[in-house]
């Protein structure tokens, strides 16, 4: 009795909500995972401390990034903190509007947008709270090393690649089939 009533209410709610704003739950999960992981690293590491995870490939290494991707403008004198914060907030707001205009079933658009929003806001929280972004994932091989990054950066990168790939190579979204 209760179960069928709940399902009926849920179905009615779902039929009324056709936009993709519910995908923001994925954004929230990204933000939580990002902030929790950064909190754990900050509790156990000092700046530049490193712990091998996979020998010769992956370390947890605490680094601070005051710039953007690949430490772009990290030594610009401080104005970049607020510039990148404002940019991320503006882009996130635009992507939320895009999500609102996207059909919920169009996961090829909604998922990448939600990943980018979650990652952007995760890094905004760091910039506002700490004045820099906390990075800790250090991928390297031999003398080659990728700049340290975090879960938020990963979500932004994966979301952007998905958005481009689905835009270039997908014929139609699932909702149109």
- Hey, which residues are catalytic here? 135, 153
How far is Cα 163 from Cα 157, in angstroms, rounded to an integer? Answer: 10
How far is Cα 175 from Cα 63, in angstroms, rounded to an integer? Answer: 43
* Locus of tokens 């710039």: 67
Q: Which tokens in the block code for residue 64?
A: 């601070």
Around Cβ 166, how many Cβ atoms within 10 Å? 16
CA angle 159, 117, 90 (to 5 degrees): 125
């Amino acid at each position: 009795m209760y179960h069928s009533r709940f399902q009926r209410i849920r179905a009615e709610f779902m039929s009324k909500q056709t936009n993709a704003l519910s995908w923001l739950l994925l954004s929230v999960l990204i933000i939580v995972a990002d902030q929790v992981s950064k909190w754990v690293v900050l509790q156990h590491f000092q700046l530049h401390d490193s712990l091998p995870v996979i020998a010769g490939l992956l370390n947890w290494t605490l680094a601070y990034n005051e710039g953007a991707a690949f430490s772009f403008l990290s030594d610009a004198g401080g104005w970049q903190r607020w510039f990148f914060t404002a940019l991320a907030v503006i882009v996130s707001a635009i992507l939320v509007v895009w999500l609102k205009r996207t059909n919920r079933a169009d996961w090829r658009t909604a998922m990448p947008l939600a990943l980018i929003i979650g990652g952007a806001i995760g890094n905004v929280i760091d910039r506002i709270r700490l004045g820099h972004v906390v990075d800790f994932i250090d991928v390297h091989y031999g003398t080659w090393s990728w700049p340290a990054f975090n879960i938020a950066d990963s979500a932004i990168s994966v979301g952007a690649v998905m958005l481009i790939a689905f835009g270039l190579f997908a014929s139609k979204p699932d909702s149109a089939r």
